[in-house]
Copies of this chain bind each other. A is one copy, B any other.
Amino acid sequence: MQVTGGRIRPNVGDPSVLYYLDDLTVGQRFVSPTHELDAAQIKAYAAQFDPQPFHLDEDAARGTFFGGLAASGWHVASITMKLLVAGGAPIAGGVIGGGGEIAWPKPTRPGDVLHVESEVLEIAPSRSKPNRGMVTVRSETLNQKGEIVQVITIKLVVFRRPEGAIAEHAP
């Protein structure tokens, strides 16, 4: 959903509401759907990409820095991307990131229900490519207790509405 000036308008899962550069404003906020994480998902991701004891096995995790099974930070980043694509960042042309900052202030645990809240921080039209701009978005990934488990501040490539295109978003 989009939160604007205290009003909440749902846009989750509505593929007809997609934002071009022209539609975005600094301070605009988007909220993603949710994702429920379990131990099996944590271990499956870890086996493929981050096979360390604290991501693979409850018993082995107990004596580590994490004090129990925790998701790989890159798994949390991957789920965050899934939630952004699923409605958390409804950008026409897709969610295309060039880079940014990432932090994991708290571990993500089995049973956590995650969602992403994003805010447009900056909009910079491209000088050399008039059909696009760079939009800086801060996306917080929160668990069911409202605790922030990840923060990313990412620069996205966002396109202007093509001339003659039917508006996909009615502001």
Copy number in the complex reads 2
Are B97 and A73 in contact, with the CB atoms below 8 A?
yes
Are B157 and A82 in contact, with the CB atoms below 8 A?
no
Per-residue CB contact flags for chain A residues 50-89 toward chain B (1 = under 8 Å, else 0) read 1111100000000011000000111101110110010000
Q: Which of A1-9, A25-33, A98-106, A110-118 contacts B (4 or more CB under 8 A)?
A: A98-106
Per-residue CB contact flags for chain A residues 142-163 toward chain B (1 = under 8 Å, else 0) read 0000000001000001000000
Instruction: Find A94's partner among B52, B82, B85 (CB 8 Å cutoff).
Output: B52
Given contacts A48-B82, A74-B78, contact A103 B99 (CB under 8 A): yes
Is A124 part of the contact surface with B, judged by Cβ < 8 Å? Answer: no
Given contacts A50-B85, A72-B81, A85-B50, contact A104 B93 (CB under 8 A): no
Are A64 and B94 in contact, with the CB atoms below 8 A?
yes
User: Closest CB-CB distance, A133 to chain B, in whole Å?
Assistant: 13
Are B52 and A85 in contact, with the CB atoms below 8 A?
yes
What are the 5 A-B residue pairs with the smallest beta carbon separation, nearest first? A99-B103, A49-B78, A52-B94, A49-B82, A74-B78
